[in-house]
């Protein structure tokens, strides 16, 4: 299989980031493929699926480029108050031009998912070199899509909406569209295109709701040979959380087959003679992403996988002065299965702001998540892989090689917080760890969070606050034989352990009996190593109860002696979905984490 290459392209003052997947060596190249992402949280959910599309296409002989639009992913930031639709369509044009430049091909196929399919259609209608167009659940009417985003913003995260309204536009799933973009997007209607987006089109319908109309008929009137299909896999790919997202293998296989059918037909119609093309080699380079800030794609070998990270650094301003090693560095670890941009792209926002203040940041994907390859012994999109600490160690050693051993900080949200805590128990030379909304401190292989009882309530489950075993309903089911006895026993035993665990731990410490999960001893160990431990909770997080249960009567002592620091953010949910909550989180991090003004 060909090895994908991280690249920057587009204007030097505002570069786009992407991955070029060259065709398998020795294969004849007929056409290429550009993949257009959906918007916002949907893009995070489908990230590994987009990677699967690109890998499959390249392995079959189709060079592929997947990329981030302006203001998204790892690409340069854009003016949020501008018309982003126009900038995103321009991004598609630049991606097509880049793929043609790197490969020498003359014809390109576009594959778009949701809003990405819309952008691909708009760009394709302005070009004459698009031979094929694949649209997965395309957004045909922008007005209906804006309505959908408004519903998502109003209902998905009620705990983060307690009287806090977005500054302007629409805020959905942690991503913001300002008024101008909302206005322009609302006017989009692909049924009114006056030019065809491609010679051929494949429209893949949603499998989670019926389509209101068949857009293929309008495409046919424009001269596009269009086909609509019902292939399963969309809903599983677009899961509500990226950790549950599944690659739609049937769709991937059938899309690649369709692209080859189109290519074969086209070449028979022309001459059937396909030329061997020498591709332009991709370059790993450092680019300026913001005033005083440069970024570099980094690939780290673990021996069992290749980790991907983005290094964000301050620019050396005085060219005549001897270069100085930066003294402060931060590693940001995946939150769950969200790739290295972070929830709502906040790792990108934070790292670029901090780099402008002189702090080096590394946004790291652990194995099997984001753009890091999978260890053979693991599975994809696993938030708590068994080898996570080995991956973190590789990242820490790399950062220490850049900044020395002066001040290295480790930071993570949810699962990333757990990995940070566990690494601090075995790692060295950490100035601080910042644990943001840890769902558990002691994850064990085999523990599965489900919708009824998400493991032990003392391990961060929200189920403890939702179980209603002391109401008449469950007992009525028990008496009528409709309640699972094993489930009831599990609930009762977990509830009981939640109450007695702190006292058992206290007694064990008094008797000097070793504990497998001794939070107090572990916090003290981290403190003795010279590492500051900070924990940040959204107000009302069950992790607060988790921490109190583990520490018991020692909690006040740990706080008073400065062995641990705990802060709270009001009106925020688990992933700091609202823009207002992220701003307050950023302010808290800057005030407490670094020994300098940012």
Q: Whole-angstrom Cα distance, residue 325 to residue 316?
A: 10
Percent pLDDT > 70 in the chain is 79
pLDDT at 163: 46
Report how far residue 113's alpha carbon sits from residue 128's, in angstroms, rounded to the nearest whole number.
Answer: 21
Q: CB neighbours of 166 closer than 8 A, spacing ≥ 6?
A: 153, 176, 578, 579, 580
Residue 558 — very low, low, confident or very high, per pLDDT cuts 50/70/90? very high
Task: Say whether pLDDT at 139 is over 90.
Answer: yes
Question: Of 257-261, 412-416, 434-438, 457-461, where does mean pLDDT reach its minimum?
Answer: 457-461
The more confident residue out of 36 and 274 is 36
What's the confidence (pLDDT) of residue 523?
A: 95
Q: What is the CA radius of gyration of the chain?
A: 26
Q: Is 574 helix (H, G, I), strand (E, B) or coil?
A: coil
State residue 24's pLDDT score: 80
d(CA 192, CA 586): 43
Within 13 Å, how many C-alpha atoms sit on residue 512's CB side? 0
CA pair distance 554, 214, nearest whole angstrom? 64
**DSSP track, 61-129:** T--EEEE--TTSTTSPP--TTS-HHHHHHHHHHHHHHHHHHHH--S-EEEEEETHHHHHHHHHHTT-S-
Q: Which regions of 257-301 does DSSP assign to beta strands (E)?
A: 287-290, 293-301
Residue 422 makes CB contacts below 8 A (sequence gap 6+) with 389, 441
**Is pLDDT of 49 > 70?**
yes
Cβ atoms of residues 323 and 316 within 8 Å: yes
What is the arithmetic mean of pLDDT over 518-526?
92
Helix, coil or strand: residue 418: helix
The whole-chain average pLDDT of the chain stands at 85
- Please give the Cα distance from 2 to 77 (Å, whole number): 30
Q: How confident is the model at residue 269 (pLDDT cuts 50, 70, 90)?
A: very low
* Location of structure tokens 């403890």: 464
Secondary element (H or E) of residue 522:
helix 519-528
Comparing CA positions, the residue from 433, 467, 458, 421 lying closest to residue 542 is: 458
Is the torsion defined by CA of 372, 373, 376, 380 positive or negative? positive
Average pLDDT over residues 54-77: 96
pLDDT at 150: 87
Q: Which pair of tokens denotes residue 467?
A: 């179980």
pLDDT at residue 591 in the model: 80
Asked if pLDDT for residue 48 goes beyond 90, the answer is yes
| Residue 280 confidence (pLDDT) above 70 | no
Reply yes or no on whether the pLDDT at 271 is more than 50: no
pLDDT reported for residue 528? 94
Chain centre distance of CA 528 = 34
Evaluate if residue 502 carries a pLDDT over 50.
yes
Pairing label, strands 16-21, 64-67 = antiparallel
pLDDT of 470 above 70: no
Q: Which of 220, 225, 218 is nearest to 201 (CA)?
A: 225
What count of Cα atoms within 13 Å lies in the side-chain half-sphere of residue 254? Answer: 15
Q: Per-residue pLDDT for 448 more than 80?
A: no
Task: Say how many Å lie between the first and final Cα of the chain, rounded.
Answer: 44
Residue 557 has pLDDT above 80, yes or no: yes
pLDDT tens column, 342-380: 999 999 999 999 999 999 999 999 999 999 999 998 888
Q: Is the pLDDT of residue 593 over 90?
A: no
pLDDT bin (cut points 50, 70, 90) of residue 518 is confident
Say how far apart CA 514 and CA 520 lie, in whole Å. 12
pLDDT score of 389: 94
The pLDDT score that the predictor gives to residue 147 is 92
pLDDT confidence bin for 1, thresholds 50/70/90: low
At what angle are helices 415-426 and 388-403 packed, to 10 degrees? Answer: 70
| Residue 210, number of CB atoms within 10 A of its CB | 7
What is the number of alpha carbons within 13 Å of residue 572 lying toward its C-beta? 22
Helices (H), 125-233: 142-155, 179-186, 216-221
Task: State the DSSP H helix or E strand holding residue 409, giving kind and residue range, or none if neither.
Answer: strand 407-413
Rounded average pLDDT over 290-297: 95
282 confidence band (pLDDT: 50, 70, 90): very low
- Check pLDDT > 70 for residue 546: yes
Q: Which residue, 180, 159, 157, is CA-closest to 170? A: 180
Whether the Cβ atoms of residue 554 and residue 522 lie closer than 8 Å to each other = no
**DSSP letter at 300?**
E
User: Residues of the chain with pLDDT > 90: what percent?
Assistant: 64
**Gap between the Cα atoms of 34 and 592, Å rounded:** 43
| Dihedral (CA of 61, 67, 69, 70) sign | negative
Q: Provide the pLDDT for residue 404.
A: 82
The reported pLDDT for the residue numbered 26 is: 64
Does 470 or 128 have the greater pLDDT score?
128
Q: What is the mean pLDDT of residues 426-440?
A: 91
Query: Using CA atoms, how far apart are residues 421 and 108, in angstroms rounded to an integer?
Result: 47
Q: What CA–CA distance (Å, rounded) separates 121 from 280?
A: 27
Residue 126 scores a pLDDT above 80: yes
Q: How far apart are CA 288 and CA 528, in angstroms?
A: 40
* Mean pLDDT (whole number) for 2-23: 94
Q: Could you give the count of Cα atoms lying within 13 Å of 154 in the half-sphere of its Cβ?
A: 7
**Does the structure show a pLDDT above 60 at 464?**
no
Distance (Å) of CA 275 to CA 130, 264, 272, 333:
19, 14, 10, 44
Residue pair 226/203 in contact by the 8 Å Cβ criterion: yes
For residues 60 and 41, give the distance between their C-alpha atoms in angstroms, rounded to a whole number: 29
- Single out the residue of 8, 563, 578, 22 nearest to residue 278, CA to CA: 22
Report, as an integer, the average pLDDT of 320-345: 83
The burial class, CB within 10 Å (0-12 / 13-18 / 19+), for 272 is exposed
Report the alpha-carbon distance of residue 245 to residue 216 in Å, rounded.
28
Sign of dihedral through CA atoms 123, 127, 129, 135? positive
| pLDDT for 2 | 76
The DSSP call for residue 437 is S
> Which of the residue ranges 188-197, 492-501, 554-563, 573-582 would you say has the lowest mean pLDDT?
492-501
pTM for the predicted model, two decimal places: 0.87
Q: What pLDDT score does 474 carry?
A: 58
pLDDT for 239: 87
List the beta strands (DSSP E) in 213-346.
Answer: 225-229, 287-290, 293-301, 306-314, 328-333
Q: What is residue 473's predicted lDDT score, i.e. its pLDDT?
A: 60
* pLDDT score for 503: 67
493: pLDDT confidence band, cut at 50, 70 and 90?
Answer: low
Instruction: Flag whether pLDDT at 76 surpasses 90.
Output: yes
Taking Cα atoms as reference points, which of 523, 533, 332, 347 lies closest to residue 430?
Answer: 533
Find where tokens 């644990």 sit. 435
Residue 522 reports pLDDT greater than 90: yes
Q: How confident is the model at residue 587 (pLDDT cuts 50, 70, 90)?
A: very high
388-416 confidence digits (pLDDT tens): 999 999 999 999 999 887 789 999 999 99
State the pLDDT at residue 454: 36
- Greatest mean pLDDT among 115-124, 163-172, 200-209, 255-264: 115-124
539-551 mean pLDDT: 88
Gap between the Cα atoms of 430 and 248, Å rounded: 40
CA angle 84, 365, 3 (to 5 degrees): 85
């Amino acid at each position: 299989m060909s090895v994908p290459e991280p690249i920057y392209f587009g204007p030097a003052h505002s570069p786009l980031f992407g991955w070029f997947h060259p065709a398998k060596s020795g294969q004849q190249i007929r056409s290429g493929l550009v993949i257009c992402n959906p918007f916002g949280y949907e893009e995070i959910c489908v990230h590994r699926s987009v990677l699967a599309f690109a890998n499959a296409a390249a392995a079959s002989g189709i060079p592929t480029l997947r990329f981030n639009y302006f203001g998204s992913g790892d690409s340069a930031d854009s003016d949020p108050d501008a018309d982003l639709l126009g900038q995103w369509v321009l991004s598609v044009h630049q991606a097509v031009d880049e793929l043609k430049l790197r490969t020498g091909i003359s014809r390109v196929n576009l594959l778009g998912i949701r809003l990405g399919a819309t952008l691909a259609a708009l760009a394709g209608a302005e070009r004459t070199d698009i031979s094929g167009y694949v649209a997965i659940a395309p957004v045909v009417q922008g007005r209906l899509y804006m309505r959908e985003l408004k519903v998502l913003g109003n209902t998905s995260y009620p705990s983060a909406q307690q009287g806090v309204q977005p500054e302007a536009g629409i805020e959905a799933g942690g991503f913001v569209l300002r008024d101008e973009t909302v206005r322009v997007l609302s006017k989009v209607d692909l049924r009114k295109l006056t030019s065809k987006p491609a010679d051929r089109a494949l429209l893949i319908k949603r499998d989670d709701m019926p389509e209101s109309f068949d857009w293929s008929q309008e495409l046919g009137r424009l001269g596009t040979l269009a086909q609509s299909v019902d292939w399963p896999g969309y809903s599983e790919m677009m899961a509500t959380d990226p950790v549950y997202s599944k690659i739609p293998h049937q769709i991937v296989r059938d899309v690649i087959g369709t692209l080859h059918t189109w290519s074969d037909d086209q070449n028979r119609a022309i001459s059937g003679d396909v030329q061997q093309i020498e591709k332009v080699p991709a370059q790993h380079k450092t680019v300026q992403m913001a005033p005083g800030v440069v970024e570099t794609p980094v690939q780290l070998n673990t021996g069992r996988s290749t980790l991907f990270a983005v290094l964000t650094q301050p620019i050396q301003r005085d060219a005549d002065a001897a270069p100085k090693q930066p003294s402060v560095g931060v590693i940001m670890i995946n939150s769950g299965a969200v790739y290295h941009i972070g929830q709502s792209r906040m790792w990108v926002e934070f790292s670029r702001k901090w780099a402008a203040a002189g702090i080096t940041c590394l946004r790291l994907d652990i194995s099997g998540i984001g753009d890091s390859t999978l260890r053979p012994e693991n599975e994809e999109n696993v938030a708590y892989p068994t080898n996570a600490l080995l991956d973190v160690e590789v990242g820490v050693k790399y950062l220490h090689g850049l900044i020395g051993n002066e001040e290295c900080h480790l930071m993570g949200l949810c699962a990333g917080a757990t990995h940070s805590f566990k690494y601090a128990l075995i790692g060295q030379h950490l100035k601080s760890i910042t644990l943001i909304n840890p769902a558990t401190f002691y994850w064990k292989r085999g523990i599965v969070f489900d919708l009824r009882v998400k493991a032990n309530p003392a391990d961060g489950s929200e189920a403890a606050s939702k179980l209603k075993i002391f109401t008449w309903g469950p007992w009525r089911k028990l008496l009528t034989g409709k309640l699972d006895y094993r489930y009831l026993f599990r609930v009762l035993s977990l509830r009981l352990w939640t109450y007695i665990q702190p006292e058992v731990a206290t007694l064990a410490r008094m008797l000097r009996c070793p504990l497998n999960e001794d939070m107090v001893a572990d916090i003290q160990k981290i403190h003795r190593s010279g590492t500051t431990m900070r924990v940040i909770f959204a107000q009302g997080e069950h992790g607060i109860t988790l921490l109190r249960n583990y520490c018991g009567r020692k909690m006040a002592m740990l706080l008073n002696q400065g062995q641990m620091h705990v802060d709270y953010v009001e009106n925020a949910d688990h992933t700091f979905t609202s823009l207002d909550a992220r701003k307050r989180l950023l302010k808290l991090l800057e005030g407490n984490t670094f020994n300098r003004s940012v």
